[in-house]
Amino acid sequence: MHSFSFLRHPLLAAEDTLGESVSDLGSTPYYVMVGYLVLLLVLGLFGWLKSKSGEEDYYLAGRSQGWMVSSLTIMATFFSSFALLGAPGLVYREGVVFALFSLNVPVAGLSVYLLGARIWKLGRKFGYVTPGDMVADYYGSKSSLRLLVAVAAVLYAIPYVVMQIQAGGLLSQDLFGEEYFDRGAIILAGITTLYIMIGGMRSVAWTDLIQGLLLIAGMLVSGFAMFLVFDGPGNFAEAITTELPESSLTVPGTTGLWTWPMLFTVCLLGSVGSMVQPAQWMRFYSAKDTKTLKRGALVFAAVLTTCFILGVMLIGLAGQVLYPLEYSAQETVAQKDGETLVDAGPQKLDQPVPEEFQEHFKFVPADPAKPGSTGQVTWKWSGKSKEFDAESTVTRLSALSDNAAYKAAVGKLPESITEGKRRPGVAPNPNVSEFDAILVTVLKKQLPARLGSFGALFASLIFVAIMAASMSTADSNLHAMSAVLTRDIYDQFIDKNASENRRVWVGRIVIMLATALALAAVIYGRNPEITAKYDFMKMIAKMGLMAIAFSAQLLPIAIDILFLRKGTGKGAAVGLAIGLLATFLMGPLFGILADATQISVLQDLVKTFGGLKFANMHGSVWGLVLNVPVFVLVSLVTAKPDPEKVRQYEEVLSR
């Protein structure tokens, strides 16, 4: 891939003149990160010293968290590495359209306000620890609903933990070199696992307090740093409006993914779905009172919306100016007569490619040794500068060969370049290892050049904020998954007579095993063949959105228990089971399973289910569109929950 050096932004000249030594952050990140990790271990030890024996203290910190700790731990769990790596990566790739994603934060805050307080009331009255406790108790389900809620929890938590560990590897890779990816991932996973196992919810909450403050500071300071790089907000705004291509300034974004249906479903279902996932549900239980949760909800909505607009958004857009995206229009050189391939194009061009086109145009002939192989023509460009005149460029390129298939392919190039009939391919700038690395790249290469040693320290502190964002969500989800699998699986199906202390130790073992599984998935996901086919494996934000699709299947049950109380246990179980299955079959995980097993029936089903998607919407829709009607219909013909239990719930919720 060409670097298109003639298109580099003037601000990048500092990198050339100051040399590699200035853009290098030196040893500062090592000292800052080591100090931070030691602090986390100290907090974990302190949490252990303050803890009491038993599940309620280990999993819910004695249900005594104040508004500051509650709001920051909910905030830290919600945004994760998505905030400082994933979201800037999507803004860098898609442009301004992803700013509308910030609307999901007020919706999520409203969910905490409306759902959280009601969940707290029921949890405090009946002593619930996990979501499964409440769901199974209300509907009178002995096993099926607990098991299904646990499955939803695992399908959400594992991908979310994977993306946090991946963020640790990515940060280490971009700071210290590619060979440090595995080391960074292992260190983040190991430290996080250690302090959760030592101190439980109390340690998780205290570290989330520190990490939540770092997350907020990191987002706002990163946005402010962009103004420093561009010498003020005026120059920044001018650069955005004049130097970004039109696709980066309009809906549906660079790739065309972010249509209005996608934005609407992500902002509504994605945000609410992320608030009924087990880690957040347990945070509602652990709050001191409902006033604590409602105050925390207002802080959450106000602070994180500001952080997104003035932090994440600015980073991604600045990245597009400083490191323009690389686009490619590609056409197949082939003609077909029915099903018979009659011409796969020339093996070489009759004339050399003109010098002025050599950085942009590439012809790859078909491979005669591979039956069905076809040739390709590609036009590449960077940012706004396409260097392509539809009429004259096509005429000159067509003249390079008399082959009809070649000429036809060249004639189609304008459809992706100038006519807008198809979206071109998009890749990060060669100076940016991957989309999610845009924040690290900008800060690492720009701040030391602009601010010297202070810039290196400044950037290092933001990198610690990235680590904090990753660890705060990893610890929350590992801790919640430990509670769910211990209370809802081990306690119900394996050892019903286990003591509380025994269950706590089983939970610690679950944390270790889940971390090992997530770490293995991160390393497996680095396989180029996997990332080439499954975009979500290399983009943190996409993996997060995929995980939320599973937790969103708990929404019908949550709404029924907290507000409606019309459904039945069998309706809830069948609806949830079908919703989870549909989400799995319509999502990328089923495709990975089909490819891994190479079972032709599964591969055919992947294509069939993919063809059923009638619109571009968030993955939760495909589960809910079956989950909700099945829940309603089955509830109409099956036995209602115990009337006394319904009366108790109504009495508690009416207070």
Amino acid at 565: R
Mean pLDDT (whole number) for 608-631: 88
* Residue 597, SS3 per DSSP: helix
Distances in whole angstroms, Cα of residue 279 to Cα of each of 204, 205, 332: 11, 12, 48
Q: What are the pLDDT digits (tens) for 82-122?
A: 777 888 888 999 999 887 777 888 888 888 889 988 999 99
**What DSSP letter does each residue of 396-408 carry, written as one string?**
HHHTT---HHHHH
Dist. CA 489–CA 235, nearest whole Å: 57
* Residue % of the chain over a pLDDT of 90: 23
Looking at 15-19, 112-116, 219-223, 485-489, which range is the least confident one? 15-19
Percent of the chain with pLDDT over 70: 84
Q: What's the pLDDT band for 494 if we cut at 50, 70, 90?
A: confident
What is the distance between the alpha carbons of residues 561 and 256, in angstroms, rounded to a whole number? 38
Q: Please give the Cα distance from 351 to 78 (Å, whole number).
A: 57
Higher pLDDT, 197 or 296: 296
pLDDT at 579: 96
pLDDT of residue 495: 85
Considering 115-124, 168-177, 431-440, 625-634, the range whose residues carry the highest mean pLDDT is 625-634
Per-residue exposure over 525-557, b if at least 16 CB sit within 10 Å of its own CB, e if not: bbeeeeeeebebbbbbbbbbbbbbbbbbbbbbb
pLDDT category, 13, cuts 50, 70, 90?
Answer: very low
Tokens of 135: 């769901």
The structure tokens 């810039």 sit at 455
Helix H or strand E segment including 203: helix 181-229
Q: Give how far Cα 560 sits from Cα of 91, 130, 140, Å.
A: 36, 17, 14
- Phi and psi torsions of 333, nearest 5°: -95, 90
Structure-model confidence comparison of residues 444 and 265, the more confident one: 265
pTM of the model: 0.81
Q: Of the given ranges (181-185, 202-206, 236-240, 575-579), which has the lowest mean pLDDT?
A: 202-206
Structure tokens at 642: 């115990």
Mean pLDDT of the chain: 81
Q: Which CATH code of 1.10.287.130, 1.10.1270.20, 1.20.1730.10, 2.170.260.10 fits the domain covering 67-323+436-547? A: 1.20.1730.10
Q: How far is 94 from 461, CA to CA, in rounded Å?
A: 27
> Where are the domain boundaries for CATH 1.20.1730.10 in the chain?
67-323+436-547
| Cis, peptide link before residue 324, omega less than 30° from 0 | no
